[in-house]
Amino acid sequence: MALHISQKNKASRRVAEKAGFKPVLKMAYVTGGTECSILYIKINPRIERLARQYGRRPIDVMNSPAGFQGMGHYLLSDGIVEFYGWPFPPFEENGRSINGFAFDDFTARINLSPKNFEPIDDDK
Protein backbone atom coordinates (compact mmCIF):
# COMPACT_ATOMS: atom_id res chain seq x y z
CA MET A 1 0.00 0.00 0.00
CA ALA A 2 1.16 3.51 -0.69
CA LEU A 3 0.21 7.03 0.35
CA HIS A 4 1.30 10.36 -1.12
CA ILE A 5 1.22 13.05 1.58
CA SER A 6 2.27 16.69 1.34
CA GLN A 7 5.56 17.23 3.13
CA LYS A 8 3.97 20.12 5.03
CA ASN A 9 1.04 18.02 6.31
CA LYS A 10 2.67 16.92 9.56
CA ALA A 11 -0.58 15.63 11.11
CA SER A 12 -1.33 13.23 8.24
CA ARG A 13 2.27 12.10 8.17
CA ARG A 14 2.14 11.24 11.89
CA VAL A 15 -1.08 9.26 11.38
CA ALA A 16 0.48 7.34 8.48
CA GLU A 17 3.53 6.48 10.58
CA LYS A 18 1.35 5.36 13.51
CA ALA A 19 -0.49 3.07 11.06
CA GLY A 20 2.81 1.43 10.11
CA PHE A 21 3.62 3.30 6.91
CA LYS A 22 7.24 4.32 6.33
CA PRO A 23 8.47 7.30 4.31
CA VAL A 24 10.55 6.14 1.36
CA LEU A 25 10.68 8.93 -1.19
CA LYS A 26 10.49 12.72 -1.37
CA MET A 27 9.08 13.88 -4.72
CA ALA A 28 8.85 17.35 -6.17
CA TYR A 29 5.45 18.24 -7.56
CA VAL A 30 5.41 18.18 -11.35
CA THR A 31 4.11 21.76 -11.36
CA GLY A 32 7.43 22.98 -10.01
CA GLY A 33 8.01 25.10 -6.95
CA THR A 34 9.58 24.05 -3.70
CA GLU A 35 6.77 21.95 -2.22
CA CYS A 36 7.10 18.19 -2.16
CA SER A 37 5.07 15.12 -1.40
CA ILE A 38 6.33 12.16 0.58
CA LEU A 39 5.62 8.63 -0.58
CA TYR A 40 4.80 6.34 2.34
CA ILE A 41 4.59 2.59 1.92
CA LYS A 42 3.47 -0.30 4.05
CA ILE A 43 5.05 -3.60 3.08
CA ASN A 44 3.18 -6.87 3.47
CA PRO A 45 4.66 -8.89 6.38
CA ARG A 46 4.94 -11.91 4.07
CA ILE A 47 7.21 -9.88 1.76
CA GLU A 48 9.29 -8.80 4.77
CA ARG A 49 9.75 -12.46 5.83
CA LEU A 50 10.65 -13.48 2.28
CA ALA A 51 13.23 -10.67 2.05
CA ARG A 52 14.81 -11.76 5.35
CA GLN A 53 14.89 -15.37 4.18
CA TYR A 54 16.88 -14.43 1.06
CA GLY A 55 18.94 -11.62 2.63
CA ARG A 56 17.28 -8.88 0.55
CA ARG A 57 15.73 -5.54 1.43
CA PRO A 58 11.91 -5.71 1.61
CA ILE A 59 11.65 -2.60 -0.56
CA ASP A 60 13.57 -4.47 -3.30
CA VAL A 61 11.27 -7.49 -3.06
CA MET A 62 7.87 -5.80 -2.90
CA ASN A 63 7.53 -5.28 -6.68
CA SER A 64 9.36 -8.40 -7.78
CA PRO A 65 7.65 -11.48 -9.23
CA ALA A 66 9.33 -13.27 -6.31
CA GLY A 67 6.53 -11.92 -4.14
CA PHE A 68 4.04 -14.30 -5.72
CA GLN A 69 3.39 -17.62 -3.99
CA GLY A 70 6.05 -20.18 -4.92
CA MET A 71 8.25 -17.70 -6.79
CA GLY A 72 10.72 -16.81 -4.01
CA HIS A 73 13.53 -18.52 -5.92
CA TYR A 74 13.66 -15.43 -8.17
CA LEU A 75 15.44 -13.70 -5.29
CA LEU A 76 18.46 -15.91 -5.94
CA SER A 77 19.05 -13.93 -9.14
CA ASP A 78 20.92 -10.66 -8.59
CA GLY A 79 19.78 -9.53 -12.04
CA ILE A 80 16.10 -9.89 -11.20
CA VAL A 81 16.55 -8.20 -7.84
CA GLU A 82 18.43 -5.35 -9.51
CA PHE A 83 15.77 -4.94 -12.23
CA TYR A 84 12.84 -4.81 -9.80
CA GLY A 85 14.74 -3.28 -6.88
CA TRP A 86 14.14 0.16 -5.42
CA PRO A 87 16.37 2.55 -7.43
CA PHE A 88 16.21 5.54 -5.10
CA PRO A 89 18.48 6.47 -2.18
CA PRO A 90 17.21 6.03 1.39
CA PHE A 91 14.67 8.64 2.49
CA GLU A 92 16.02 11.68 4.33
CA GLU A 93 13.67 14.35 5.64
CA ASN A 94 16.04 17.13 4.60
CA GLY A 95 17.40 15.35 1.53
CA ARG A 96 16.85 16.41 -2.05
CA SER A 97 13.58 15.54 -3.71
CA ILE A 98 13.48 13.50 -6.87
CA ASN A 99 11.62 14.44 -10.01
CA GLY A 100 8.19 12.77 -10.04
CA PHE A 101 8.85 11.52 -13.57
CA ALA A 102 11.70 9.33 -12.25
CA PHE A 103 9.18 7.53 -10.05
CA ASP A 104 6.83 7.17 -13.05
CA ASP A 105 9.69 5.59 -15.01
CA PHE A 106 10.27 3.10 -12.19
CA THR A 107 6.60 2.12 -11.95
CA ALA A 108 6.36 1.72 -15.73
CA ARG A 109 9.37 -0.61 -15.69
CA ILE A 110 8.10 -2.83 -12.89
CA ASN A 111 4.67 -3.08 -14.52
CA LEU A 112 6.13 -4.12 -17.86
CA SER A 113 4.51 -7.25 -19.21
CA PRO A 114 4.95 -9.32 -22.38
CA LYS A 115 1.38 -8.25 -23.20
CA ASN A 116 2.76 -4.73 -23.77
CA PHE A 117 4.51 -5.90 -26.93
CA GLU A 118 3.10 -6.92 -30.27
CA PRO A 119 3.78 -10.55 -31.19
CA ILE A 120 6.63 -11.16 -33.59
CA ASP A 121 5.60 -12.82 -36.82
CA ASP A 122 8.54 -15.02 -37.85
CA ASP A 123 6.92 -15.86 -41.20
CA LYS A 124 7.57 -12.41 -42.68
pLDDT for the residue 109? 72
Across the beta sheet with 98-99, the strand order is: 2-6, 36-41, 22-28, 98-99
Give the C-alpha separation, 28 to 47, whole Å: 28
Whole-prediction pTM: 0.79
DSSP 118: P
pLDDT for the residue 114? 56
Residue 20 within any structural domain of the chain: yes
Q: How many domains does the chain have?
A: 1
Determine the structural domain holding residue 106 and report its residue range.
Answer: 2-114
Contact predicate 24/97, CB 8 Å: no
| pLDDT per residue of the chain (124 residues) written in tens, 0 to 9 | 889 999 999 999 999 999 999 999 999 876 666 789 999 999 999 999 999 999 999 999 988 888 888 888 889 999 989 988 999 999 999 998 988 788 888 887 766 655 655 666 665 5
pLDDT for the residue 102? 84
Residue 44 within any structural domain of the chain: yes
Classified as helix, coil or strand, 104 is: helix
pLDDT for the residue 9? 95
φ/ψ of 26, rounded to 5, equals -110, 120
Residue 120 within any structural domain of the chain: no
